[in-house]
Amino acid sequence: MRCKTIIFRIGFSLRNFATSAVKDFESIYLRLSACICGCPLACYKLQLAETMLRRHHAAMQAANDPSMELTQAYQHCLDIARSHYENFPTASKLLRADLRPAVAAIYAFARHADDLADEGDAAAETRLKQLDAWETLLERCEHDGSINHPIFMALADAIQRRGLDIEELDNLLIAFRMDVTIHAYASLDELLFYCKHSANPVGRLLLQLHGIRHADAIYCSDKICSALQLINFWQDLSIDLPRGRCYLPEAWLQEAGLSGAQLLDGAIDNAAIRPVLARAIDETRAMLEAGAPLLAMIPFRLRLQIAATLHGGRLMLNKIAGLEQPLKQRATLGKADWRGLILPVLGASLFPPRASRARAGSKETELS
């Protein structure tokens, strides 16, 4: 009877507390504790009460404190970033601490859009409508920082605080729509048009976060990002082909007496595809190296990360080239590979390659 009475009192106190302003959590908790007197069931109820009271307290604080609500929005984005993997580090500790939340907001935006385009069993029409809705939220967040969505709340703050170009985020959505509707490309130029929207915006936004907007840096960043996207395509042949996607340009295949349709049908063996894959690797490697002068244009912490990305990309290309069955195997980098890159990455970061000009006429490169 005593235990039931105590539990009833806890429930009654909790109901009354939940309908009032949170003023003195500790005093209520202590009064409840004093009633327990060692009863195990009542102790369990007390723990539940404590959890509910704390949540209610936090919710009320967030409702009355916009800065706390924004902090929670950024934390939501950081949680998304930390729970996924990509070929390039996201919200890396190599980045300045004050920039990590903004990077996480960009990542969370892109991650969700990518899931809309590529995950689940929804029809293409449904995916495109979902991406349209996501774009509508993006347009709203540029002018309405109070939008009731944690990703866009954080993203709106990052756009305003860091002067980010929202067009780059729009470009990402163009690429995700292409993922839904286009599964093969006729030429390298078409493939690079995709990279312009899928990968290059990420590098440009990262430069903007660091206040870097000059043409040479943008050019080099675009080269690196496009190369990374192509590396991902060549790395994932064994995954994409069974899903009906062929990213090796049709023009290259035809020059080798092959076709994308044959590749998708499994009518081409590993030996026949090697010349095409070798060309893909050579083109990608040249692109990656064209972006290397970026290292001399960026601050040291960012330089470390980009140097690691460059060296990781080079090693990945070597691994893809060394696969015995590139149509059935997927190259990866392990911990031992990354450990082996420590000294080269440090060397490139301390003594970055320089170029008098990243390219002829690079000053005509537009931020957009």
Q: Are 327 and 274 in contact (CB under 8 A)?
A: no
Q: Which helix (H) or strand (E) holds 335?
A: helix 335-340
pLDDT in tens, 69-83: 999 999 999 888 888
Average pLDDT over residues 154-170: 95
CA distance 108 to 84: 10
CA distance 193 to 110: 18
> Sorting pLDDT into bands at 50, 70 and 90, what band is 29?
very low
Burial of 71 (0-12, 13-18, 19+ CB in 10 A): middle
Among 79-88, 133-142, 175-184, the range of highest mean pLDDT: 175-184
pLDDT value of residue 41: 55
Burial of 112 (0-12, 13-18, 19+ CB in 10 A): middle
What does the radius of gyration of the chain's CA atoms come to, in whole angstroms?
Answer: 26
CA distance 212 to 209: 8
Q: Which tokens in the block code for residue 186?
A: 């006729």
Mean pLDDT of the chain: 83
Superfamily, domain 66-177: Farnesyl Diphosphate Synthase (1.10.600.10)
> Sorting pLDDT into bands at 50, 70 and 90, what band is 91?
very low
Q: For the chain, what's the residue count?
A: 368
Q: Which tokens in the block code for residue 115?
A: 């899931």
The vertex-119 CA angle with 326 and 141, nearest 5°, equals: 125
pLDDT value of residue 47: 61
> Sorting pLDDT into bands at 50, 70 and 90, what band is 364?
very low
Q: Which CATH class is domain 182-368?
A: mainly alpha
